[in-house]
């Protein structure tokens, strides 16, 4: 296959949505096969890690050979070093947002593979407040997957969030104006069926499909290994955030994303 690399501009377009249910309609769907990520309402990106410290011209997210990757698309460095708090410049969590700020009840689905790494975090995001720059306050819900023991990022530590000691772990969390709240959590000690798709796991090099849904105050996190049969691992009830954009968040990983889909009722 011909190797092509296409970078995302700071403002682009994105168009797809996937949510289970008879009334669900696809609002945004992207398989990256055309080398573009055409978003709804533009695409916001941020992220500073080791690769950006060495070469600030590298964008946080890139498309290579039909998948979305983080950092330098020619390496597996990805978002390594975001949690290095004494780095110069300091790390900034990787975040990609797109979609209509009025989206309320949505389902966000994406295939995710961890590229040659064992420690880090990746999440699906919904009901996110729009951002124009990293310094804008973070506000969203997220369904996060973590393997290894990555350090807790400074803003989460300041909110009292602690590191999980039994990875792989899953969390549903809320951040409002930079203040984090953990809404639900499970880990491999509580649920041995959580898949380990990191390079230290039994599913290294394979995709898993993650789905995060919001219906009213109900938030639910699912994972599928075949892309069809989903297992619900977490749910929480919270009504503070009513609507917002969707996207992905990651740090200390080099995740690969494919078939990013958003569904709306």
Q: What structural domains does the chain harbor?
A: 5-264 (2.60.120.560)
The model scores a pTM over 0.75 = yes
CA distance 235 to 228: 20
pLDDT in tens, 168-177: 999 999 999 9
pLDDT in tens, 52-79: 998 989 999 999 989 999 988 777 788 9
Helix (H, G, I), strand (E, B) or coil at 51: helix
CA distance 182 to 171: 7
The C-alpha R_g of the chain, in whole angstroms, comes to 17
* Bridge-based pairing state of the strands 106-114 and 120-128: unpaired
CA distance 104 to 99: 11
Predicted local distance difference test score (pLDDT) of residue 36: 87
Question: How is the beta sheet containing 43-48 ordered, strand by strand?
Answer: 43-48, 92-98, 245-251, 120-128, 140-147, 169-176, 179-187
Q: What is the DSSP letter of 13?
A: B
């Amino acid at each position: 296959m011909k190797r092509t690399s296409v970078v995302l501009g700071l403002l682009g377009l994105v168009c797809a949505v996937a949510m289970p249910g008879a009334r669900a309609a696809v609002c945004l769907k992207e398989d990256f096969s055309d080398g573009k990520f055409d978003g709804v309402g533009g695409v916001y990106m941020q992220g500073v890690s080791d690769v950006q410290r060495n070469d600030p011209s590298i964008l946080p997210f890139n498309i290579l050979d039909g998948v979305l990757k983080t950092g330098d698309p020619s390496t597996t460095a990805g978002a390594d070093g975001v949690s290095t708090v004494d780095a110069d410049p300091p790390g900034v969590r990787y975040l990609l947002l797109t979609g209509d700020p009025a989206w309320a009840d949505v389902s966000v689905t994406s295939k995710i593979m961890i590229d040659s790494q064992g420690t880090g975090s990746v999440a699906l995001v919904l009901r996110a407040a729009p951002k124009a720059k990293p310094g804008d306050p973070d506000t969203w819900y997220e369904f996060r997957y973590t393997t290894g023991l990555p350090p807790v990022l400074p803003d989460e530590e300041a909110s009292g969030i602690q590191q999980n000691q039994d990875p792989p772990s899953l969390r549903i969390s809320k951040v409002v104006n930079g203040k984090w709240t953990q809404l639900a959590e499970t880990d491999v000690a509580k649920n041995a069926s959580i898949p380990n798709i990191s390079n230290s796991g039994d599913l290294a090099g394979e995709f898993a499909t993650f789905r995060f849904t919001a219906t009213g105050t109900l938030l639910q996190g699912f994972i599928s290994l075949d892309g069809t049969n989903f297992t619900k691992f977490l749910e929480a009830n919270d009504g503070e955030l009513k609507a917002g954009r969707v996207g992905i968040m990651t740090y200390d990983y080099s995740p690969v994303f494919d078939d990013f889909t958003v569904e709306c009722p």
